[in-house]
Amino acid sequence: MTTARKFRVLLVPDSIYWVTGTIAKAIATANPWIDATVVSGPLLGELFPDDSVIAERFDLVHFICPYASRDWLPRLRSKVPVVTSHHHVTSWEMIAHNVEGDAIVAGSSEWVHDLEKRGADMSRVFRVPYGVDVNLFIPATRGSRDTIKQKLGLAAASPVIGFFAKRASNDDDRKGTDVFVDAVFKLHQVLPAAGVLIVGPGWQELVERFKSAGIECAWIPFVVDSRDIAPLYHALDFYWVTARVEGGPVPLLEAMSSEVCCLSTEVGLAREVVRHGVNAELLPMDDSSAFASRTVALWNDPDKRAAMGRAARETMLTDMRDYDMAQLVKAVYVRALEVFSERNPGVKKAGVPERFGTAGLATGEVPLMAFDEAEKRKTRMLEALAWSENLVLYQDQRGAALRLIVSAWRDNPLSLEPPRVMLRRFLPESITTGIVKLKRKLKGAA
């Protein structure tokens, strides 16, 4: 049946600036029956100090970030249906709470099976792959490839290997950076002009290690708009996934959609989307020699490399469009409502509509449908400031953080929050400590 209004969903990524934020926007775009509001986990307490406000404003909460739900799930379970996420496991203790969600989303069969082994109620578990924007991540032309390589200072006639990730996500070296580094050094011995493109914050030491060894290495620490990442794949001849644990990985899908020749370990969605030797290659875990040797062989066989890239693109077009994948959440939300109603028979929530209009969200836009204009402006500012502090504290990206703060201040010149963050994170500690002491002294005197 239809309803008189759209279904109001609060989507909670870890940040609007990273992969889970992109997933949230895809869900909002692909499901026109949703009135979506995307707020990152760190801001929930500031924007919703009373959890009853969330229950009033939303029909369902979807935690795409598996960590924010740790505090909020117990507070919301009696008030509003909650969907949780199971991307991957490095520390089960940190994410075990997500099995208590009214419905649980896993991005690949590997992690669906992991939930089953851990005793989750499988009637509440759904596989919803991440998908890729095939209209954004498109193949390079010869001209665009040469242009971006030149812009990055990489040799146009030599192979370039891609590695896209943030250092803070590499807990327990799950990204296999040790294997990646060893493979690059082995490749350098055979193809001395081979280069590396690293995208993501926190990799200063890795970049310096490559450069000190005479390996060409371009590094883009932070890209504010995710749409600006797509052209960077055009600089690549190969994309490597040397990871030991992955939920996606999403960059693999983006690289395949861009017709880049991909080599990957058998992790996450790679198990499902890669047809070995046809659209990419699956290599043994912890085997740097395999990555180096297969890259040399494929570099010397450009026809094979190009054919694999074309087949990879076709796989993404046929099976992994983000729009199609994101529409799978409808069944998830229906189940979450059923489970919530069973647990809370006295609480009435709106049902999921069968159909409702067409999607009107602009590509790349972060939806904030539950907020008025003043709230939207404040939320956008706080998202920028929260991520800027993350960049300083955990990624060592002070320059990128400063640019975000300045931009937020320019858009909100009367707010005191941007200068406060700037003072807190960029003044010497001795000065900030002195300011705090002075404020306390003045407050005491008053």
Question: 33 and 96: one domain?
Answer: yes
Q: Are residues 429 and 363 in the same domain?
A: no
Same domain? 123 vs 13: yes
pTM reported for the whole predicted model: 0.91
Which residues contact residue 246 at a Cβ distance below 8 angstroms, ignoring those fewer than 6 apart?
Answer: 88, 174, 267, 268, 269, 270
- What is the CATH classification number for the domain harbouring 195? 3.40.50.2000
CA–CA separation, 159 vs 241, rounded Å? 16
Q: Tens of pLDDT along 402-443?
A: 989 999 999 999 999 999 998 888 876 555 455 555 556 665
DSSP state of 14: S
Structure confidence at residue 85 (pLDDT): 97
Same domain, 193 and 290: yes
- Highest-confidence segment of 18-27, 302-311, 352-361, 362-371: 302-311
pLDDT digits (tens, 9 = 90+) for 221-230: 988 777 899 9
Q: Are residues 105 and 222 in the same domain?
A: no
Three-state DSSP at 60 gives strand
Confidence grade of residue 2 (pLDDT, cut at 50, 70, 90): very low
Place of tokens 């199609």: 324
Domain match, 23 and 88 both: yes
What is the arithmetic mean of pLDDT over 120-135? 97
Per-residue pLDDT at 248 exceeds 80: yes
Q: Contact at 8 Å (CB) between 218 and 196?
A: yes
Q: In Å, how far are 18, 71, 84, 259 from 14, measured between CA atoms?
A: 8, 14, 13, 29
Pair (207, 355) in one structural domain: no
Query: Is residue 162 included in any domain, yes or no?
Result: yes
Domain limits for position 34: 7-129+323-370
68: how many CB neighbours lie within 10 A of its CB? Answer: 21
pLDDT of residue 37: 97
What are 285-330's pLDDT values in tens digits?
Answer: 999 999 999 999 999 999 999 999 999 999 999 999 999 999 999 9
